[in-house]
Amino acid sequence: MQRPLLLLWLTALTFCATPLFAQDKTPGDIEVEKQQMWQQFENLVSTVNSVKQELNVMRAKLPKARTPAEKEQITAKINRLSEEIDSLQLAWEMWATGGVDVQLFAHQQTAEKFDWKDEIQSVFEPILVELRRLTERPRKIERLRSEQIFYQQRVNAAAAALKSVSEYKKTAPANLVHSFKTLETRWKKRHDDLKNRLNLINFELNELLAPSKPSDTNTGQMIQDLLSGRIANLFMALSAGVVTYGLLILLKKLYVKIFGRLNRKRGLLSRVSNLLYLGIAFILSILACMAVLYVKGDWILLGLLLILLVAAVLTLQRSIPTYLAEMR
């Protein structure tokens, strides 16, 4: 399934990018690039026709299947070839429409189902989505590199096989020349198809690895964009927490200053009340941080804060009994 989808995107990117490379070049260079573009289109059409022929052969074999296992195998191959033809057709439409993502006009699928019995999953869902988005480019590069190795090995093997068949054909007896020609044609087609796919993979990989072009925005705008993002959200959340905690501590000091007689009481109740007040102040400061992140819609920072809180609660749950036992 990945192979046709990869071909779809790479082919569309290749055709869409060709006009961009034609800028500021001589007429001869432009003509060469046009020829390369049409050659790539011919490769796509050739691949489509080849897959359609293979699909017709499989459909013809299906009624002749003798065993259920053979019938199941042919049916699976028919389904795979049908999906590949659909993907190639999408590649053709993306090329013809100038790179428009045809899938944007497809019917939207139902949103991914989550196990709502586990309510905490709904809290961490935005975090996972954000992390997946942030790591999409490196994961895509790694996948393309794996496919690059995959197709490069097969291109080398096909080239070696084609060379061997060609050498045998040169010295083959007359009654075997036709057989070797047929075999050579088949291997040449296989080699060219693999080579085209490898070229398309190399194209997208180079696009992903190429350094980004400098934007026209000035330094002030870049700094403003940076501060208006996650750094600003983190700063505002921390500020809200610190201010909340500071105000509550200040109120406590004012209360103690006004009612100074409370300072004389250092019994167990006074210390417990002081610890309870500090705990409430800390909880309210955390809630202030969470409120800021919730209002700003920064789900990844909010989720990380929740993870830290859960870890802190689990740590306290394990350490408090030990602490109380030591006090006794």
In the DSSP assignment, the letter for residue 67 is S
* Nearest-5° Cα angle at 154, 210 to 201: 20
Confidence of residue 101 (pLDDT cuts 50, 70, 90): low
Task: Output the pLDDT for position 297.
Answer: 78
Share of the chain above pLDDT 70, in %: 69
Reported as half-sphere exposure (CB side, CA atoms, 13 A), residue 215 has a value of 7
pLDDT in tens, 12-31: 444 444 444 444 567 777 77
Task: Output the pLDDT for position 152.
Answer: 93
Which token pair is 237? Answer: 């959340």
Quick one: which of 310, 284, 290, 311 has its CA closest to 233?
A: 290
Sequential DSSP letters for 207-222: HHHSPPPPPS--HHHH
Amino acid occupying residue 244: T
Integer Cα distance of 152 and 278 in angstroms: 65
Share of the chain above pLDDT 90, in %: 11
pLDDT in tens, 1-15: 444 444 444 554 444
Task: Output the pLDDT for position 244.
Answer: 93
Task: Output the pLDDT for position 247.
Answer: 93
Task: Output the pLDDT for position 155.
Answer: 92
Task: Report, as an integer, the average pLDDT of 154-163.
Answer: 90
Q: How far apart are the first and last CA of the chain?
A: 65
Task: Report, as an integer, the average pLDDT of 74-78.
Answer: 89
225 versus 153: the higher-pLDDT residue is: 153
Residue appearing with tokens 């350094």: 211
Task: Report, as an integer, the average pLDDT of 257-276.
Answer: 69
Task: Report, as an integer, the average pLDDT of 316-327.
Answer: 73
pLDDT in tens, 271-296: 788 888 888 999 999 999 989 988 88
In the DSSP assignment, the letter for residue 173 is -
Sequential DSSP letters for 246-275: HHHHHHHHHHHHHTGGGGG--SHHHHHHHH
Helix 174-209 to helix 136-171 angle (10° resolution) is 160
101 versus 53: the higher-pLDDT residue is: 53
* Highest mean pLDDT of the ranges 154-163, 252-261, 315-324: 154-163
Whether 279 contacts 249, CB under 8 Å: no
**Cα–Cα distances in angstroms (integers) from residue 41 to residues 91, 263, 324, in the given order:** 10, 87, 76
* Highest mean pLDDT of the ranges 29-43, 110-124, 149-163, 196-210: 149-163
